[in-house]
Structure 1
Amino acid sequence: MNPRVISVEAVKEHILKISFENDEVKLFDVSPFLDKGIFKELQDYNYLKQASVAFGCVEWPHEQDFSNDTLYLLSTPLGS
């Protein structure tokens, strides 16, 4: 089981900075998902910045979300 998200911040267009409960900080690029249905709304940086943590995952007001597993496995360690 992968660690849960404890904080999220949109740091630039299409990039989220994610902190996990194991003290790792990673960058997650949402751009591969932007042409898929409900994720198209994340193309708007102002909307992307509305990301919040819920139940160890990341979500947005219109119910888009990414699981902690997706975020952890597909993100890049900060500084890499």
Structure 2
Amino acid sequence: MRRITSISANDDWTLDVRFATGEVRRYDVSPLLQREAFRGLEDAAMFKTARNGGYFVAWDNDADLSADTLYLEGVPLPPTTHPT
């Protein structure tokens, strides 16, 4: 199971996610905003509440995404990218 070590919620509704392996992936959340579970993330302030749950990313509105989804559907970034 993949483990997240850090995340960064970007202004363009993407997440930069660093995994325990050192790999960094960018995941675009914007296509999910039309789904009921993610609709509240259209608010930029709510999107920025993203927090690292270790094996998932969660938001204050109870939406979440698994580390596997973020990894498998994310776009690889250079290892020098450092999400906070």
TM norm structure 2: 0.84
Question: Which residue in the other structure is 2:16 paired with?
Answer: 17
Amino acid at match of 1:10: A
Amino acid at match of 1:71: L
Amino acid at match of 1:40: R
What is the RMSD computed on CA atoms of the aligned residues?
1.2
Counterparts of 1:1-80 in structure 2, within 5 Å, are: 1=1, 3-79=2-78
Q: Using the alignment, how far apart are the partners of 1:63 and 1:24 within structure 2?
A: 26
**CA offsets, 1:47-71, max 9 Å, x none?**
1111001142100112100001111
Q: Using the alignment, how far apart are the partners of 1:6 and 1:40 within structure 2?
A: 26
The alpha-carbon deviation at position 13 of structure 1 amounts to: 2.1
Aligned partners of 2:13 and 2:47 also within 8 Å: yes
For structure 2, the residue ranges without an aligned partner over 5 or more in a row are: 79-84
Percent identity (aligned): 37
- Give the length in aligned residue pairs: 78
Aligned partners of 2:14 and 2:26 also within 8 Å: yes
